[in-house]
Amino acid sequence: MSRQDIAEVGGKGANLGELIKAGIPVPNGFVVTSSAYRQFLKDNNLVPKIKKILSDLDVEKSDILSKKALEIQNLILSGKMSEILVTEIKNAYEALVARSTSKLVAIRSSATAEDLPSASFAGQQKTFLNVTGAEQVVVNVQKAFASLFEARAIYYRSINHFDHFQVALASPVQQMVQADKSGILFTVNPLTSNDDELVIEAGLGLGETIVSGSVNPDQYIIDKASLRIKEQHIAKQAWKMVYDSVTGKNVHLNLTVTEQATQKISSEEILQLARLGLKIENYYHFPQDTEWAIQSSQLFFVQSRPITTLKKKAETKPDTEVIENKNASSVEPLLKGIPASIGIVTGKVKIIHSPAENNNIQVGDILVAEMTNPSYVPAMKRATAIVTDSGGMTSHAAIVSRELGKPAVVGTGQATHQLKDGEEITVDGARGYIYRGKIASKNIRDEHIVESQISTPNDIASLRDAVPVTGTKVYLNLAEPTGAKEASKLPVDGVGSKTGYLSYNRF
């Protein structure tokens, strides 16, 4: 598989095929194609029925959207797969597990578009882990088909003006990686846009905890030229997610006091990751956001996509705005966390504990939550800054905040407990500090942080002239698809949507 096959196998399958071509270790798998999905809809005469359910739907009315989404999913689940498709899936599964010591697989959803091959729509549909047996694989592939009409997937397609029936779903099925350690590797520092640095985030157990932001990962900043570790921050991890063979489920396993404080990956593993990260970047000729997992000392890369949030190199201009006459050097931060998206802003705290409370966030509020997921995006758009209890530089809250251009601090540990609704705070997204009240923003700026984004016509024109023509097409996957129009002006071959990252179940 390659990027040329994206219309049939989706962005996930295509990218994994490219990694294999580049000589990167990737778990084995196969893909139920988008053509199979379209034939399933045709065989069960589902398109006119779905169109009727979606007619006159206002996606901003979340309660109605959820009801309609469930109705469509039940309709798809009640359909019948053709005997030909069932047989092909079962045969492919048996061939896959015959080459493995485990019969467990992950079944994922990779949406694509018939006439829009650059649109991947990843992360908006469901993934099914630790599935065993050919019959259950068939059942869960059909569940993956149904997940194309998750409420948040319908919402994203609607606000991005994609026809629901131009979009189809491919279902990658791959050998399950029971990760002992997992994480993210950026081939450019995503916060400072320093292209002389690699950034690795690592945690114990399955990678969902890192990409969802439910744990604070270790962070390692590597000098590209020498592969020397320039900085490392070891985070406390109280628990990890693992597969329980008795119950057949993923469970939380508490870590010992010693394990909680231990460095997650060794120096040798850091060096191995860095070398392969550089190999991936050189293959794509573009900075990459990659996901990896280690099982029994064997390293797998499970995803790679272009980094969507880089800033341009420019001199930092002095900030002339003084919010209030206070000197930050004389004020201790109320909270400290991980800097996730640069910028300094003052606003009032609004704490929410689930997407059901999204409507509580008004324009200008500072959204404070334990962590975020794609269902929080409407509230994140209205907020002026985002603060979370958990998560790292590669968590959902961090990535979406950078794409939206909102200051963000993640991994504070106690923001939802220490801050109060209505309290006025200042968020310094460059350094990861939260101050009580209004602070003179010019006094707390980090001088080496660049805040200007590549957004002017001259910026874009200069990039197009500077970027060489390559044999491999370069695509952008956005966590927030409403920026697709502007991103399409960059020197790339296409733009798609990427909103969720579950590295523990990758290819």
Residue 458 confidence (pLDDT):
44
Instruction: List, run by run, the mean pLDDT of 10-residue segments along the chain (507 residues).
Output: 87 88 95 97 97 92 89 97 98 96 90 59 75 96 96 84 91 93 94 92 90 87 96 92 87 93 95 98 92 95 80 43 44 90 94 92 96 87 95 87 91 94 94 89 46 40 46 58 58 58 35
Residue 82 confidence (pLDDT):
97
Residue 77 confidence (pLDDT):
98
The shares of helix, strand and coil residues in the chain, as percent rounded to the nearest 5, are 35, 25, 40
- Contact between 190 and 307 under an 8 Å Cβ cutoff? The reply is yes
Question: Pick the catalytic residue: 164, 233, 252, 396?
Answer: 396
- Contact between 484 and 494 under an 8 Å Cβ cutoff? The reply is no
Q: Residue 306: which H helix or E strand, with range?
A: strand 298-306
How far apart are the C-alpha atoms of 148 and 111, rounded to whole Å?
Answer: 7
The pTM assigned to this predicted structure is 0.71
What sign does the dihedral 154-158-161-164 (CA atoms) show? positive
How far apart are the C-alpha atoms of 335 and 323, rounded to whole Å?
Answer: 20
Give the DSSP letter string of 129-143: EEE-SHHHHHHHHHH
* One fold for 28-175 and 181-312+455-505: no
Residue 123 confidence (pLDDT):
60
Looking up tokens 């979370």 gives 388
Residue 461 confidence (pLDDT):
43
Q: Which residues contact 16 (CB under 8 A, 6 or more apart)?
A: 1, 26, 29, 172, 302, 303, 506, 507
Question: Which tokens go with 17?
Answer: 């095929």
Strand partners, 336: 433
The CATH number assigned to the domain with range 328-443 reads 3.50.30.10
How far apart are the C-alpha atoms of 352 and 21, rounded to whole Å?
Answer: 44
| Fold entry, domain 181-312+455-505 | D-amino Acid Aminotransferase; Chain A, domain 1 (3.30.470)
What sign does the dihedral 417-420-426-429 (CA atoms) show? positive
- Which segments of 147-291 does DSSP mark as H helices, in order? 151-159, 208-212, 257-261, 267-284
Domain ranges across the chain: 28-175, 181-312+455-505, 328-443
Give the DSSP letter string of 171-188: EEEEE----SEEEEEESS
Question: Selecting from 3.40.640.10, 3.30.1490.20, 3.40.50.970, 3.40.91.10, what CATH number does the domain 28-175 have?
Answer: 3.30.1490.20
How far apart are the C-alpha atoms of 10 and 444, rounded to whole Å?
Answer: 44
> Which whole-number Å values give the CA distances from 187 to 199, 285, 354, 430, in the listed order?
7, 11, 33, 20
**Residue 233 is a catalytic residue:** no
Residue 57 confidence (pLDDT):
92
Burial of 5 (0-12, 13-18, 19+ CB in 10 A): middle
- Contact between 414 and 389 under an 8 Å Cβ cutoff? The reply is yes
- Contact between 495 and 486 under an 8 Å Cβ cutoff? The reply is no
Residue 300 confidence (pLDDT):
96
Q: Which residues contact 203 (CB under 8 A, 6 or more apart)?
A: 181, 182, 183, 209, 210, 215, 217, 218, 237, 240, 264
